[in-house]
Structure 1
Amino acid sequence: MTIAAVAPVAGATRRRSKAHQWKGLLYIAPAMVLVLVFFVLPVLFTVWMSFHNWPLMGQPKWIGLRNYSRMLSDTRFLSAIGFTAFYTVIVTVAIFALAFPLALFVERERRGVGVYRSIFFLPVVVGLATASLLWTWLANVDSGLFSPALRALGLTEHSINLLATFEGAFTTIVVMVVWKIVGFTMILLLTGLQAIPSDLTEAARIDGAGRWQRFRHLTLPLMRRTLALALILSITGSVLAFDQFYIMTSGGPQNSMISVVYYIFNQSFVSFHLGYGAALSIVLLIALVALSVAQLWLLRVEDER
């Protein structure tokens, strides 16, 4: 075939390729509009607000970076960061300590395994606000079930208000969140376990590798991608914690359970420091983006190896 004959064919191929590209852009255009209207523009407006003293009523006043510099000396904000970090570590460790054994348990084919999976996953479908209200009732000293159960087990001699002290309220909230989230993390880990080729596991067993050796040198390395995803989702969800503290304790007792998002809520919609609340939101967004970048870095390192 001559060059003169090939050129029209190549031109037609390029035209078809461009047509497919434009069709693809046309299909994703509605989603792009939604992202632009409901995410990009609000974020840009929040950035603009963060450079102003923005009262609820009256004219906003440009103050530059003063809202951001204010955070460095805001002891309540720093305390909220410390509490959120502490809560994130405790919840993440507790979730993984339960989710991994549960995933290993339901990964094996046995009688009734589908029922077990459904039971473990069932709390996930309950909304967090609904779960918070449910556990608030369960922890109620007068009408709840936890206080009579503790007395029946001989752990306490009298009725106890679990939400009246920091230790009791924090433990109750952590247990509630783990009960609510562990099923979702279990499913994520289960998909990672099921993606491991059975031939590799069988070959390691034939070579004499014990259960712990197979778990350490085969299961964990092959599940690195799944573990990174589950870890980032758990940390991100914990950093954004708000509903459980607002509903169950209202930040108490004595404002000892104020998370970062709860503090932003108070500054923006209780004290009406909208500019400062916007600056706090941007800082939180940057922190979450950093977590996402860390996830991508973990996945990139795995691919390179």
Structure 2
Amino acid sequence: MSNIVTQPVTVGKAMPCGGHKRKRKRKSQLVGFLFVVPALLLVGLFFLTPVAMTAWMSLHRWPLLGQPRFIGLDNYWRMLSDTGFWDAMGFTVLYTVVVTIAIFAVAFPLAIFVEKPRPLQNVFRTIYFLPVVVGFAAASLLWVWLLNVDNGLFSPLMERLGLTNGRVNLLGSFDLAFASIITMVVWKVAGFTMIILMTGLQSIPEDITEAARIDGVSALKRFRFLTLPLMRRTVGLALILCISGSMLAFDQFYIMVSGGPQNQTLTAVYWIFNQSFVSFRLGYGSALSIVLLAILVAISVVQLWIIRDPKEDAR
């Protein structure tokens, strides 16, 4: 009969059970939440609270001086027949479309230019980005001087070059004022969009573009079928920032042309400003602000839906 050898059983540490795993997971989630709390407090204090107060004011006839009176949705019904607001919205959409196209038409070539290693690369980046640090109010005042008929730069220069017969008021007609403001905004904002697009270009692996170049793919086709698809998220971010900022345009139109000539350059925010602080209808101005916020949210949601990646969503 063979001997039965019994080996000693070593008792090790027990593996953590599911309860311990869940406990550690909840603890890590709690730590992450504590890091987010300061940001949530700031958002709640400086965004959600003002939005809630604005929504409450929009339900009242709220004069600048005097006692507010609750009127329900009357301000919103009144807005439907406010042709001035819808004209301002139409001009704002026109301005947004034109200035967005102009900004990308300038920013994309600049991003491609400064992304490639070349002499004085950092100098070029600094020069193109420098106008971004200037505030819109300061930039508008600067361009008011540059566009001045008598003491400015552009009008006398155009006369000396023979481009115009005498000096022209570049802010005197709608077409010239609109083109001048578009030029100022592109000069001011294109550098910021350039930086965003440049980061997207730098994130594209070099071996992919090099392989396409070796295969004989032209630069235009590489940009169309390789660069743009890989920069979907970056372009989407730049578009959202550009469109949102353009829909909220106010400073340049207020300072440079004061909504003129003949109130043809009144933007949506400018109209809200007039209703709130010129006509002293704070309740109606609040209702217009809530509607404009809803329009911006809808535009952003549509853009995010368009630039989504179905393959990533399916994972």
Cα distance between partner residues in 1 of 2:186 and 2:72? 42
When Rg is computed on C-alpha atoms for both structures, the one with the higher figure is 2
Per-residue CA distance 1:247-305 (angstroms, 9 max, x = gap):
11111111111000010011111111111100000001111111221233134335348
Cα distance between partner residues in 1 of 2:43 and 2:213? 50
Match of 1:151?
Answer: 159
Aligned pairs for 1:113-124 (under 5 A) are: 113-124=121-132
Q: Which amino acid aligns with 1:239?
A: M
One of 2, 24, 28 as aligned partner of 2:32: 24
Bigger mean CA offset, 62-71 vs 269-278: 62-71
Per-residue CA distance 1:131-189 (angstroms, 9 max, x = gap):
00000011111221111111111112222221121122111111000000111111111
Per-residue CA distance 1:81-124 (angstroms, 9 max, x = gap):
11101111110111111111111112221112221111111111
Shift of 1:5: 4.2
- Would the aligned equivalents of 1:229 and 1:295 in 2 still touch at CA under 8 Å? no
Aligned pairs for 1:215-226 (under 5 A) are: 215-226=223-234
Match of 1:192?
Answer: 200
Cα distance between partner residues in 2 of 1:213 and 1:83? 36
Gaps of 5+ in 2: 1-9
One of 237, 244, 253 as aligned partner of 2:245: 237
- Would the aligned equivalents of 2:150 and 2:156 in 1 still touch at CA under 8 Å? no
Match of 1:60?
Answer: 68
Q: Which amino acid aligns with 2:116?
A: R
Q: Does 1:71 align with 2:79?
A: yes
One of 213, 222, 243 as aligned partner of 1:205: 213
Aligned pairs for 1:1-305 (under 5 A) are: 5-6=14-15, 10-302=18-310, 303-304=312-313
Cα distance between partner residues in 1 of 2:49 and 2:129? 36
- Would the aligned equivalents of 1:148 and 1:159 in 2 still touch at CA under 8 Å? yes
Cα distance between partner residues in 1 of 2:106 and 2:45? 40
- Would the aligned equivalents of 2:137 and 2:255 in 1 still touch at CA under 8 Å? yes
Shift of 1:11: 4.4
Bigger mean CA offset, 92-101 vs 173-182: 92-101
Cα distance between partner residues in 2 of 1:172 and 1:63? 42
Q: Which amino acid aligns with 1:260?
A: A
Cα distance between partner residues in 2 of 1:180 and 1:121? 9
Bigger mean CA offset, 212-221 vs 57-66: 57-66
Count of matched residue pairs: 304
- Would the aligned equivalents of 1:141 and 1:159 in 2 still touch at CA under 8 Å? yes
Bigger mean CA offset, 62-71 vs 240-249: 62-71
Cα distance between partner residues in 2 of 1:86 and 1:170? 11
Note the aligned Cα RMSD (angstroms): 2.1
Gaps of 5+ in 1: none
Cα distance between partner residues in 2 of 1:300 and 1:225? 8
Cα distance between partner residues in 2 of 1:68 and 1:257? 24
Bigger mean CA offset, 169-178 vs 12-21: 12-21
Cα distance between partner residues in 1 of 2:225 and 2:240? 23
- Would the aligned equivalents of 2:236 and 2:304 in 1 still touch at CA under 8 Å? no
TM-score by length of 2: 0.90
TM-score by length of 1: 0.93
Shift of 1:12: 4.6
- Would the aligned equivalents of 1:47 and 1:282 in 2 still touch at CA under 8 Å? yes
Cα distance between partner residues in 2 of 1:151 and 1:232? 39
Cα distance between partner residues in 2 of 1:149 and 1:213? 41
- Would the aligned equivalents of 2:159 and 2:166 in 1 still touch at CA under 8 Å? yes
Cα distance between partner residues in 1 of 2:103 and 2:209? 26
Bigger mean CA offset, 101-110 vs 239-248: 101-110
Cα distance between partner residues in 2 of 1:89 and 1:126? 23
Cα distance between partner residues in 2 of 1:12 and 1:153? 80
Task: Determine helix, strand or coil for the equivalent of 1:208.
Answer: coil
